[in-house]
Amino acid sequence: MLKANTLFSFDLKSFFKKILTIKGIYQQLPIFHEKAEQAVNCLSCASCCKNYSPRFKTTDIKRISKFLKLKESVFINQYLNIDLEGDYVLQKLPCAFLGTDNYCQIYDVRPSDCKRFPYTNEDVFLKRSQISQKNAEFCPIVQHVIQQISENYSLKI
Ligand code: SF4
Ligand code: SF4
């Protein structure tokens, strides 16, 4: 079993290229993902919520504002900025909704980016490999999935 944040500080580009040649790899991803989720405790990590912002799409903003009983404009002014890509992102990190116990205080209505992160059960995990490589630097779930692929298909990382 890999230790978090110790192994993927180098370029994974060639490894991801090799993964894409594996027949049936997309069907296997949810299985690897589930095993990784069972092995890793997000509540003892929260690296994503502490160091990176999700995008807040229009539907996210509507849902979260309603939950917080705030006008959407107030919610935006209070918590969000627009980044260089034109997306709404958090004004500050760690995320304002991360509790001291690492629980998300808006869990049921959290942004879709948060629900999907780290995308290891989705095609985009391999299709947007540059992002996945970046996520591998800090996310133990991504590291665990990569390790499983490496072991199952005898691929050297
Ligand atoms: S998704 Fe990854 S980075 Fe985020 S809390 Fe879970 S293990 Fe940590
Ligand atoms: S909304 Fe919740 S899950 Fe998303 S970054 Fe903030 S604390 Fe983490």
* Rounded distance from Cα 114 to ligand 1 centre (Å): 10
Ligand 1: which atom is nearest the Cα of residue 138? 3
Q: What is the pLDDT of residues 58-97, one digit of tens each?
A: 999 999 999 999 999 999 999 999 999 999 999 999 999 9
Element (H, E) at 113: helix 112-116
Ligand 1: which atom is nearest the Cα of residue 40? 7
Can you give the pTM of this predicted structure? 0.91
Inter-CA distances, 136 with 63, 67, 140, Å: 30, 32, 7
14 has a pLDDT exceeding 70:
yes
**Residue 1: its pLDDT value, please?**
32
Residues with CB under 6 A from ligand 2: 49, 54, 95, 97-98, 104, 106, 110-111, 114
From the list 86, 89, 5, the residue with the least C-alpha distance to 44 is: 5
Q: What is the pLDDT of residues 26-57, one digit of tens each?
A: 999 999 999 999 999 999 999 999 999 999 99
**Which one of the ligands is nearest to 42 CA?**
1
Q: Which of 2-16, 18-32, 41-55, 98-112 has the lowest mean pLDDT?
A: 2-16
Which sequence spans correspond to the domains of the chain?
4-48+117-152, 53-116
* Rounded distance from Cα 152 to ligand 1 centre (Å): 23
